[in-house]
Amino acid sequence: MVAAETAESIVKAIDDPSWFLRYSWLIAFLPAVAAVFTLFIGKRTPGKGSVYGITALAGALVMSLGVLWTFVDGERGFYEASIPWFQIGQLHMEVGVYVDGLTAIMLVVVTSISLCVHIYSLGYMKGDVRYTWFYVVLSLFTSAMLVVVLANNLFLLLVGWEVMGVCSYLLIGHWWEDHVNSSSAIKAFITTRVGDVPFMFGIFVLVFITGFTTSNIPQISEIISGGGASVALVSAAALLLFGGTIGKSAQFPLHVWLPDAMAGPTPVSALIHAATMVAAGVYLVGRLFIVFLDADPVVLQIVAIVAGITMLGAALMAFTQDDIKRVLAYSTISQLAYMIAGMSMGPAGRTGAFFHLFTHAFFKALLFLGSGAVIHAVHSNNMSEMGGLRRRLPITFWTFLIGSLALSGVPPLAGFWSKDELLVVAEHEGHPVLFVVLLVTALLTAFYMTRAVLMTFYGEYRGHGEPHEAPRSMTGVLVALASVTVVRASSGRRSSGRCSGSGCTSRSSRRPCSCRGSPSCPRSPRPAASSSATPCTATTRCATPSGRSAAPTRWSRTSSTWTTSTGRGSSARYETTSRAGSTGTTGTSSTEWSTAPPHSPRPSRAASRGST
């Protein structure tokens, strides 16, 4: 009976795509629950509690894939749902989720890589004295990143941001008995806190712009894009927010903490570098991109300068390292700067930056976990004590080689397409200096990764003892990540359009964008066969003639009521009761319309200035 009910629920979820959106909050909640279970009863269960984190991440990954599936047809704008939290004066605080296409892809990236790290740690951390505690913090770390991705308001995002910082301190200093490890954890914590100070002031400025009435990210974006704030305030907010990105994403001059963070266990390094922590800074810029776009042009110029200095400096530093994990750490700093440089080139660059973020996450996780397998075999981090391992560790060698080629931008692997996207944008948008910096960095990356592969796997073995291949729990994850890197390569060009992230304009006549749901882009009706009657499938963003995306309809769910706001003053209220059956959807609905005075925004500053 239970199996039949479960199967029926799965069928309903498949027939009703909005089901995954309504329960998207579970994606962040499940790892947090796993952390609590592991903490209190982990030591008394088989596997010392690791099963809770792995099971929770598997469930979160399934939910994330379901959320992504609802956006595959390209017809959904975004989904938002929230419940009241507390109120201070006129400032209403809420706990809610905001899901769009960007969120959906980030959810899949974070949950899939975190699941791989959880499984990999079964073999790598076996016998560790704090094995259970490791899984507690690892699950909580993942949950915090998912909160950052899903948060619909700045204060909830800040909660996830800070919890992630605390968890990184605990994970980097996991082997705190060694003074170097504890010092590295403290250094990482303090350095990232330095960046968090301007970040919190940036949040204050954004809330001030709203008149201290809301911290809701979509509402703040609408106010700024509608010209409801001065250029000076928006520019100040952008620079302060970028301070948080500099700290979290290890950009110059706050880059110093990330190489030393390699003192932690290798699975932690993989998760920090691939899908959490450092990726959060890039995601922050992309999520609040309208703030940077509507700021004074000098703001994006500062972003580009910081990114250029960081990517070149980190790439050169990677040449001088003997520790294989530090080579990869400087590589991460350089590649994050690559993404941030893309953000500085406007909407088209934002698309390329996130494309590189997604591809980089998988092959960088592969490289770190591959380096962990090498360290597990030779009991040393130094490449000078390795060599000649390609025959002794064949699986590790081939998977590490695939990751190295992808990071180096060798066609047709995934890294080639994402780097090519950013180079094309730099050329088309008229950024010759940035184009040269990006190209030189790509060449330097290929050189230092070639050096790492040759020193580690070729020549004579220079270590002690007899190296052996890692256990299946580790090599299986390496093969899975290598497969994803190759599969993404086969579809790389299809994934990389010239469309901006918020509109439907295209620079490529080969792949013109199509969009639905605005006055300038009539929306095609959904297929009649769909059994979902929920209106959260109704809209997408579409570019207006001015270059700014038209205000989409925002659907939010409260109880059994769907509320929609167009962002231009008019609103509609739908009270719907429906039951999905095998033959279709039946139900009743009532509609109540109310119209507020129309909002007449000023012409967009970003649109009038042109390319920055």
Q: What does the pLDDT look like over 81-112, one tens digit per residue?
A: 988 888 888 888 888 999 999 999 999 999 99
pLDDT at 269 over 50: yes
- Note the pLDDT of residue 12: 56
- Note the pLDDT of residue 557: 36
520 exposed, middle or buried (CB, 10 Å; 0-12, 13-18, 19+)? exposed
Reported as a pLDDT band with limits 50, 70 and 90, residue 519 is: very low
For 401, residues 6+ apart whose C-beta sits below 8 A from its C-beta are 453, 457
507 exposed, middle or buried (CB, 10 Å; 0-12, 13-18, 19+)? middle
Closest of 544, 537, 482, 495 to residue 519, by C-alpha: 544
The pLDDT of 48-65, averaged and rounded, is 93
Q: In the beta sheet, which residues pair with residue 543?
A: 549
pLDDT at 580 over 70: no
DSSP code, position 291: H
Cβ-contact 268, 164 below 8 angstroms:
no
- Note the pLDDT of residue 13: 53
331-369 in b/e form (b: 16+ CB < 10 A) is bbbbbbbbbbbbbbbbbbbbbbbbbbbbbbbbbbbbbbb
The pLDDT of 359-383, averaged and rounded, is 93
**pLDDT single digits (tens) 1-38:** 545 555 565 555 555 667 889 999 999 999 999 999 99
- Note the pLDDT of residue 480: 94
Closest of 490, 129, 117 to residue 269, by C-alpha: 117
What is the C-alpha end-to-end distance of the chain, expressed in Å? 62
Q: Find the DSSP H helices in 409-557.
A: 414-428, 432-457, 472-490, 492-495
pLDDT at 496 over 70: no
Mean pLDDT across the chain: 80
Question: pTM here?
Answer: 0.80
The pLDDT of 534-560, averaged and rounded, is 35
Instruction: Using DSSP, state whether 447 is helix, strand or coil.
Output: helix
Give 549-609 as a DSSP string.
BPPPPEEEEETTEEEEE-SSSEEEEEEEEEEEETTEEEEEEEEEEEEPPPP-PPPPHHHHH
Amino acid symbol at 397: F
For residues 601 and 471, which has the higher predicted lDDT (pLDDT)?
471
**pLDDT single digits (tens) 178-223:** 888 899 999 999 999 999 999 999 999 999 999 999 999 999 999 9
CB hemisphere CA count around 227 (13 angstroms): 12
The pLDDT of 126-144, averaged and rounded, is 93
pLDDT at 598 over 60: no
